[in-house]
Structure formats: structure tokens, C-alpha cells
Chains A and B, each alone.
Chain A
């Protein structure tokens, strides 16, 4: 009892220390999402099986992440982010789309809106995904089913440079 209380107090005190003295600027508001992040598009398990089941999808996603981080065109966007976390979210997103029995718990795709991603950057990532899927023997028809869901997400991912969003007051 006493131990847990002192732990409590200790934690609360340290959290005060951690809080920065200067208030952070309010983050830019996200634009409304314009495309579904993880719609399930298969009724049966045919699609997830084409990806080699959960196991195959996990290996493919890891390969995809490796290719993205090695891709000189877009690697810079991922500097300073938790790659394992992104990979986990990607896996769950793909798995939910393919009706593989997972639940996507990440954020909406509009989180990309302020990153300054261009259409060419988006397609570079798609090329890496195609290369990973091909390397993992995912048949073309199954690749295109997944890509058909991801393609409209370009509207959320690609930045609109001409009209920056107004920060909220």
C-alpha cells in the first residue's frame, strides 16, 4: 500500500519535471479524411491466402518497410519515426483490408497531410510495395486488389502545397 503510494507520488512528480516549461504550439488541424483507411474488401480468405496468410503478409510488410527505408527518393520522410510501429500499423491495415482477421488501430491516413509528400513520393512508395509483393510471390490480381484500395488514399497522403491549412485558434 505504502509502496504503491510512494510510487504514485514519485511518478506524478517526475511527470511534472518532464512537462516542458514552454507550451508547445498547437498542432495543425488535420484535413477531413477523404478516403477509407482500412475497408475490408474480401468476403472470404482467398485474398489473404494469396498473400501467404498472416505469416506471409507479415514477411511481405517487413520487406516493404525495408525497401522504403532504403529508397533514396523517400527515406528522408521516415527519419526520426518509430519504424517498427509504422510497420505494425501497416501490417494491421493491410490485414484488415484483405479480411485477414486483424483490426487496424492506427490513425487515419490524413495524418500524412502535413508531411509535404508529393505525388511522385506516393508512387515511389507504391513501387516499393509492388516490388515487395512481387518478391513475396503475391499474384498480380491480388496485388492490384490491395493497390486499388490504397490508390485513392493519395488524396489524403499527398500534400496540397498551394493552400496550407489554417491553424485553429
Chain B
């Protein structure tokens, strides 16, 4: 009886082994027949993550779907960004998933370190304001990379749902709300024959300083803002660019201005890129803020 059980067990084990360990040639065939699951698109064609987490440039979302997924694949990206300004430090980190080069879902957290200014305002030195942003983006038409014989850009619409954790403070500053949603339309075109990428974005927003200072103000609601990027790609692994982003000016006690930046993005491998730049974020609370922008991105 014991013997029979043993034989049965061995037979079963051998059968299972044969199932999970196919001969090398079979394994090879399987690998070859399997369509590529990830990372089908070309280097840097998913952009990097902009400050609120969507695929784009440094501050502006692009119509590109983040990650390297083609229309048959899923892609993704993760990032960490720090902007060290004269009086403040802005940090952002998060990730996104791109589905079939059609839909992008992103989540990111922005934090705003008031450093010495926090102490001066009586909030405490290094007082932080934190905001969570969920993003959605849908590509409507066009392929920024493939449609080189057409003028039609890649066009996407998106939304960013933001929630600020310092409701009391931002209301005291004059904001109406600690939560708000931005809606945007982006058009992105790669002019490959000229190694140049151009993006234009129109955003409907109530956010004060991206939402760090809350949403809305006295008698002020939504406004339409413009954003844009232009990047030159002298090599497949390198991009130089300029960006701007206009913003509302809702708060009576804290003037707000447009942001601008100059950046260099370098992708030593397809899966990693580093972006560094000079950012002029305009007037924030105390005075005009400029500083260093650094971001690391990994995409698949």
C-alpha cells in the first residue's frame, strides 16, 4: 500500500515537473511566440513626470501617455522631484500607469517646506503643506511620434484631483477650499525631422500655487491658464527644453505669477532618466522664487 502511494506520488511529481519544466526548445518557442509585454515604445517618448505626476515636462502635462506601453501594452513610471527655491523647498513623488497608450492614471504627493519663512509667519520652522493629487488622462487622437506625415498633434484631455492637508491655513490665507480639480487639454507633436517636440496645454483651474495654497479666492473662481513646452533632442538620450505655465492670482495677500523653467533631460538607459533645470516659479508668498529643479524618473 505504501509502495503504491509512493509510486503514485512519484508519477504525479514527475508529471508536474514535466509541466513546469518544458524542454529548452519549447521554452524558447514560448518566449519567442509571446508578444512583447512591456516597454515597446522608443526612449524618452513617454516624457517624464511633471510636478503633479502626469506624464509631461517638468511643470506641464503633455498629451503623451506615460511609460513605454504601446497600444497592446501596459506601461508605467515612477518619479521623485525636488525644487529648491530661495525660501521654500517643493518636493513631489509618485507614479503612473499607462494603459494601451490610451489611458493614464497617476498618483503623486507634493509637499511644500516653508523652511525659515514658516518661523517668520509663526507657523514653525520647516512647517510643511502637503497635497495629494490623483490624475487621469485620456488620449483622444493622434500619435505624436508616428504621425510624421500629418500636422495633427497627439491630443489628450486630463483631470487632476487635488486635496490639500492644511484646510485651516489656506482658508485663513483667503482660499475658498482645500480641494479642487484641474481640467486640461494638451496637444503634443514631435517634429522628428527637426528633432523638436512642442506641447501646448490649456488648463481650467482654481488652484493657488498648484493647490499648495488652496483653491479659489475672494470672488474668484475658475480661470483658463496656458502652459507650453518646447524641447530639442540633439541625441536620442538627451533633451533640452523651455517651459512656461501661467497661473491664477486669486489670493489678495499672496501674489502669484507664472512659472518658467529651462531643463536638460538625460536618459542613460531606456528605463532611467534624470532631469535638471533652472526654475523661476515667480512670486510665491514672500518674493520671487528661483532655484534648482532636479527629477529622477524610471519608466517601463
Contact = CB atoms under 8 A, between A and B. Distances in A.
Say whether A and B bind each other: yes
Contacts of A119: 40-41, 70-72, 101
B contact patch SS: loop
B223 interface: no
B286 interface: no
9 contacts: A72-B32, A118-B40, A119-B72, A120-B73, A121-B36, A140-B235, A151-B145, A152-B146, A152-B149
B269 to A, nearest CB: 13
B224 to A, nearest CB: 33
* B-side interface size class: 20 to 34
B193 A145 contact: yes
A7 interface: no
Interface stretch (A24-32, A51-59, A107-115, A124-132): A124-132
A8 interface: no
A63 B233 CA distance: 25
Given A148-B148, A152-B146, A123 B192 contact: no
Contacts of A127: 42
B70 A144 contact: no
Interface string B69-88: 01111000000000000000
Interface residues of A, number: 26
Contacts of B233: 140
A126 to B, nearest CB: 7
A76 interface: yes
B234 interface: yes
A50 interface: no
A76 B32 contact: yes
B35 interface: yes
Contact of A144 (B35, B101, B149, B195): B195
B236 interface: yes
B42 A126 contact: yes
B35 A120 contact: yes
A32 B160 CA distance: 41
B147 interface: yes
A93 B245 CA distance: 43
Contact of A124 (B31, B36, B192, B193): B36
